[in-house]
Amino acid sequence: MPVPEHSLPENYFNDVYQAHDDPWNFEASEYERGKYQTTVAALPKPLYQQVFEIGCSIGVLSQMLAPKCQHLLSVDIADAPLLKAKHRLQNFPQVTVQKMTVPHEFPEQQFDLILMSEVGYYLALPDLKKLQQQITDHLQVGGHLLLVHWTPFVHDYPLTGDQVHEQFLQLCGPDKPFKHVHGQHAETYRLDLLERQ
């Protein structure tokens, strides 16, 4: 099977959100709630100073993450979910919600936590590798990278969740930028926590 050369564009997500304002049922799904609780529980520190959430959608996970952040930058590629995210997070002054298309755009500051939940498989491999380098360059030594992705194959997506995680795990080990701190597999998703070294 040929590997797609292009990441999913903004219009793909605009169409999805035009059809339904919560297309993945983030607000009501018991599955999503349990996965988000597992995600937040996997964080080793009670509080992070500068946090970057790549792909916040309508901000359900962002809302759970916010109390653990001195400052949280949550971004997404599409306008429609960001409107809901901004409304949901309006009572969290430490949260900035912004439109951003990674890896073509990336914040300039350094972070002690970067979270990428359910977004890596939207990228074609060249873009994922570019994003890997940006994350490596902008994560402080001792900072954490938390990856959480759906693992079953989805026809529209350039990569699978497993492919995304395996790409990052190639950066782990002696004389490499990361060490693998924790990993777990659920029936339909996996979670991996890496630490910058």
**For residue 5, what pLDDT is reported?**
76
pLDDT band at 2 (very low <50, low <70, confident <90, very high): low
pLDDT tens figures, 123-152: 999 999 999 999 999 999 999 999 999 999
What is the model's pTM? 0.95
The CATH topology of domain 10-196 is Rossmann fold (3.40.50)
**For residue 4, what pLDDT is reported?**
72
Cβ–Cβ < 8 Å for 139, 111: yes
The verdict on whether omega for the bond into residue 103 sits within 30 degrees of 0, i.e. cis, is: yes
Query: What average pLDDT does range 26-50 have in this prediction?
Result: 96
CA–CA dist 48, 191 (Å, integer):
19
**For residue 19, what pLDDT is reported?**
84
C-beta pairs of 29-37 under 8 Å, 24+ apart in sequence: 32/60, 35/148, 35/186, 35/189, 36/60, 36/61, 36/64, 37/64
Query: What average pLDDT does range 141-164 have in this prediction?
Result: 97
**For residue 125, what pLDDT is reported?**
97
Sequence-distant (6+) residues with CB within 8 A of 80 are 14, 17, 18, 21
Give me 176's structure tokens.
Answer: 């490499």
**For residue 24, what pLDDT is reported?**
86
CA–CA dist 96, 91 (Å, integer):
11
CA–CA dist 124, 84 (Å, integer):
27
Query: What average pLDDT does range 87-107 have in this prediction?
Result: 98
Among 151, 158, 133, which Cα is nearest to 189's? 151
Mean pLDDT of the chain: 96
Flag whether pLDDT at 1 surpasses 80: no
Cβ–Cβ < 8 Å for 147, 140: no
CA 39 to the chain's CA centroid: 11
Among 4-18, 75-89, 176-190, which stretch is predicted with the lowest mean pLDDT? 4-18
pLDDT tens figures, 45-88: 999 999 999 999 999 999 999 999 999 999 999 999 999 999 99
